[in-house]
Chains A and B, each alone.
Chain A
């Protein structure tokens, strides 16, 4: 080892005259700085912001449970929408505590399983900790519970005020929110505990390193949960052209599906650019790292980060052009949905192939498009 160090040092001091002095050349390549910025200014604050919304949601659901009526239902629904929207900004951190606890699987697997929810209502001891239970809880289950059990608010309230079954049904809402709370608390506790140090000090890029895991989770999120989940599957752009409008996110609420997608897409873009959740200022990020590495299209000389940002912008424009209700969009003009899928697919490749290749990070997740 000493020999190696000696040789390398010799090799470099041998040409010492033209070795650049250790000026900020390498700051952009400092992965510890990036990881620290991610943890302290993006990931943990995102979870904290979301915690506030989830607390509000819990409070409103408790209020609704105490007094199930139209007014408290409307309040609950508002809080649910705000929390669901905020979750889109935290779902992409599929690394460390969040990944370990599979929080996104408990929070946002849709379409939700109505029969499973009804069965769980009947059986209060049913487990919410199994993979089978993923699609019977979280935001999509709440979507059904507060928007889907009746066609009008009065009918929904009636569902919970029914003399025999009402209490059980209300209890399930509580179970769902409580499980979300306990998961989030555990994830936040881990982030504020030992994992924080692990995340910022394990600076490798190999398989299993925090950055490797985060990049894999990030690309997977964009590919499977935004491109496929929000657009590809409902529009039938994937899955052999089978159109499935009822597989949109927030199916029962309907008019927020585009907003959720926009928020999720913006979160991915902001994360790419290292935008601080606290200050909105950009910090060390994929963008700065790729720029420091000099990643560019050798044909045109344009930087890879610019190319990716341009693709994000193109994707965003296509998403913005959709109607607020993606279910309706699929029925009325599905081509626009498919166009979004196509433009997102281009960004997927840039992230999955160009970015990871430039960063020398191995993509290890297995993508399961389709079923």
Chain B
């Protein structure tokens, strides 16, 4: 290992930063799950649907029926345990696995920030976030430490950087910057908001928001890193995400980001937070006094270095896989997910399926017999889901006595204000096509160019 890396890996910082992150992630996730549960979404999204859309390679992730509630309960309890720092390694591992399992059940519910939360939890599995201000460290003072390796905090910052910066890169396209799309479509729908609503009637506002959003994403982490701009940057984070929370139905995402960005504050800041919280709840104050430094064993250090390197190489390259596919990314969505492409498209569609066999059997499919409203909406604009659904239909009608059924789709999709047009070749028998990482030749071209990323 080169010397400078060796030196870097030995640098220390306050364990308080990780402790604050641990608590906030735990509390935030607990709140998310309570919110999700109370809205009845567990039933609606994971129990009611008759069919599910697993991710490619994760088809083994199955819905759990009534036990889904148990899964959510496990997730919620482990989130509380993580916040408390109780049985940390087990609880954070459980949290990561249960949360990720939930997210892998159905593509229809994919959200970038769920992916982000999964990744943060994965990082936390390997980070010593329990050595300070935790029940574990309280019960076993042996493991208490006031310092942790600096890289343990830096990896979190790096992940946040990737999220923002890549989200910013994704906005460097002609629809976003030159047409102010989709904000030009979305903002007027909110022109009845008190006080500021009228602003959304002007295209200029959509342009300002688009450009500001893009510049914000590209620069915010640098401003957060710099001590002199940090406070201003953090206020911007709060305002930016508060605006998006008011304007768009994006759930917990704004709060997740507002909270996560605290990681950029100084070690002293996090120590003060913990001192304040301790005083407030009359908790033991001795955590901050620990001069001990947490160190990994040489062996663990080596494997963690390799593991985290692989992780970040993946994170840095995977979002660019879209470059390997022909066609317009927003249209084909080949390589769209897991790439921090957030709020970039107004896309709506309608897909009507025809199933038939050579013996003259034929049916126009009523999608509602198979899918929920959300699933149908998502499926209608995403080619890989259309393919998955075609196979659901193929299997269903095979059992219904169709002789090797053929499945065709008559699709119609509108993207960012362009007039709708067919997205899938209506002549393609989708029952014969299979999912893979290869390009899908049966996606019809958009016949329009969105320049940029």
Task: Mark A residues whose CB is within 8 Å of B.
Answer: 3-5, 7-9, 11-12, 15, 18-20, 22, 25-26, 29-32, 203-206, 238-241, 293-299, 304, 307, 349-350, 352-354, 356-371
Contact = CB atoms under 8 A, between A and B. Distances in A.
A360 B349 contact: no
B376 interface: yes
Interface string B181-215: 00011101101100110110111110010001000
Contacts of A241: 362
A363 to B, nearest CB: 7
Interface stretch (B13-21, B22-30, B416-424): B416-424
Contact of B199 (A8, A31, A297): A8
Contact of A26 (B184, B201, B346, B413): B201
Contact of A15 (B201, B204, B420): B204
Contact of A357 (B185, B243, B246, B373): B185
B343 to A, nearest CB: 12
Given A3-B239, A205-B189, A354 B414 contact: yes
Given A19-B204, A293-B188, A360-B346, A26 B420 contact: no
Nearest to A241: B362
B362 A353 contact: no
Given A295-B417, A298-B448, A356-B348, A29 B188 contact: yes
Given A15-B208, A22-B198, 9 more contacts: A11-B208, A26-B191, A29-B188, A31-B191, A294-B203, A360-B186, A364-B373, A366-B376, A369-B364
Given A353-B349, A360-B185, A366-B373, A371 B366 contact: yes
A52 to B, nearest CB: 35
A335 to B, nearest CB: 18
Contacts of A359: 189
Contacts of A357: 185, 346-348, 414, 417, 420
A304 B419 contact: yes
29 contacts: A3-B235, A3-B238, A4-B242, A12-B205, A12-B208, A19-B202, A25-B202, A26-B201, A31-B192, A204-B192, A240-B364, A293-B188, A295-B417, A349-B412, A350-B420, A353-B348, A353-B414, A357-B346, A357-B347, A357-B348, A357-B420, A358-B185, A358-B417, A359-B189, A363-B377, A365-B373, A367-B367, A370-B365, A371-B366
A7 B239 contact: yes
A13 B373 CA distance: 42
A298 B195 CA distance: 32
B191 A5 contact: no
Contacts of A19: 202, 204
A368 B366 contact: yes
Interface in B391-433: 412-414, 417-420
B202 A298 contact: no
B249 interface: yes
Contacts of B418: 297-299
Contacts of A370: 363-366, 369
B445 to A, nearest CB: 13
A285 to B, nearest CB: 16
A294 B347 CA distance: 17
Nearest to B209: A11
Contact of A299 (B242, B249, B448): B448
Interface of B: 184-186, 188-189, 191-192, 195-196, 198-199, 201-205, 208, 212, 235, 238-239, 242-243, 246, 249, 346-350, 352, 362-369, 373, 376-377, 412-414, 417-420, 447-448
A205 B367 CA distance: 25
Given A4-B242, A295-B417, A9 B348 contact: no
A352 B350 contact: yes
Contacts of B363: 240, 370
Nearest to B355: A240
B338 to A, nearest CB: 25
A337 to B, nearest CB: 16
Given A295-B417, A350-B420, A360-B188, A5 B195 contact: yes
Nearest to A367: B368
Nearest to A239: B364
B211 to A, nearest CB: 10
A29 B205 CA distance: 14
Contacts of B366: 367-371
A25 B201 contact: yes
The 7 closest A-B pairs by CB, nearest first: A26-B201, A360-B189, A203-B192, A357-B348, A370-B366, A297-B419, A366-B368
A349 B420 contact: yes
Nearest to A204: B192
Nearest to B447: A299
Q: Among the interface residues A15, A298, A349, which one has the most CB atoms of the partner chain B within 10 A?
A: A349
A307 B203 CA distance: 23
Contact of A206 (B185, B208, B249, B369): B249
Contacts of A295: 417
A210 to B, nearest CB: 12
A353 B412 contact: yes
A361 B201 contact: no
A297 to B, nearest CB: 4
Q: Among the interface residues B184, B413, B414, which one has the most CB atoms of the partner chain A within 10 A?
A: B414
Contacts of B420: 349-350, 353-354, 357
Contacts of B376: 366
A130 to B, nearest CB: 23
A277 B198 CA distance: 30
A366 B235 CA distance: 42
B191 to A, nearest CB: 6
A299 B246 contact: no
Nearest to A366: B368
A9 B346 CA distance: 26
A31 B201 CA distance: 11
Contacts of A368: 366, 368-369
A238 B198 CA distance: 45
Nearest to B412: A349
A360 B242 CA distance: 21
A354 B350 CA distance: 10
A26 B204 CA distance: 13
A19 to B, nearest CB: 6
B192 to A, nearest CB: 4
A25 B202 CA distance: 8
Contacts of B373: 364-366
Contact of B239 (A4, A18, A353, A363): A4
Q: Among the interface residues A7, A204, A365, which one has the most CB atoms of the partner chain B within 10 A?
A: A7
Q: Among the interface residues A29, A353, A371, which one has the most CB atoms of the partner chain B within 10 A?
A: A353
